[in-house]
Structure 1
């Protein structure tokens, strides 16, 4: 009875919650995380480059904003790809055509057959269906 009650009352809400959390992760959290991690890695590279310049005795100079923006974009895309690959591996893969696809194919075949039948009925040469333009004898006046 507990399993039946769970399946009847709680399971739809649990499934909806899982679907919405998965949607939130794939559409909102992963891109935002990728951007944050990419920005952090870009800042880390800038700090390492500055540290290397100071160690080499070249001193401080203004950082190249375009270079770091490109690096941040690159790191963000890489992290987003890695996270989305991990999440896509968790969901089961669909196999074969579903019931909706079979239904659509059957309706398409029926529609095509109807069009062909209508064209055949329209274009067939049936002499009884044609009405002569000239009357065979003059009408009685």
Structure 2
């Protein structure tokens, strides 16, 4: 199946894939040929693509995945190949998650679930840092 990974800055990948592991907000999922058409939102995590006997790994912070008859298209808010990930990029992603959490705490009276969602985002970013072997700042919850 055809796999496409696009971020606002550029196209990161376009390849013929055997499977794609997606970090979905409702849980991780693996897409293979003939998967049912689906659209899902992404949470921060590792996107893995099996292609040509090789696993390609990408850090994503959110976005959408569209699974259709022609393959999988991922539109990521931010995406970086795991091999290209730097501590500065990890820090920036973590800082964005921390800022979202702090903003959610400020307006929690009107949107109580927002704080929980932001705390989950922050925890996901800490897990991503661990997975790519980069340190993440300890969250101030």
- Range class of TM-score, shorter chain: under 0.3
The two structures have a TM-score, normalised by structure 2, of 0.23
Q: Which has the higher strand share?
A: 2
Q: Name which one, 1 or 2, has greater alpha-carbon Rg.
A: 1
Q: Which has the higher contact order (CA 8 A, sep 6+)?
A: 1
Q: Which has the higher helix share?
A: 1
The two structures have a TM-score, normalised by structure 1, of 0.23
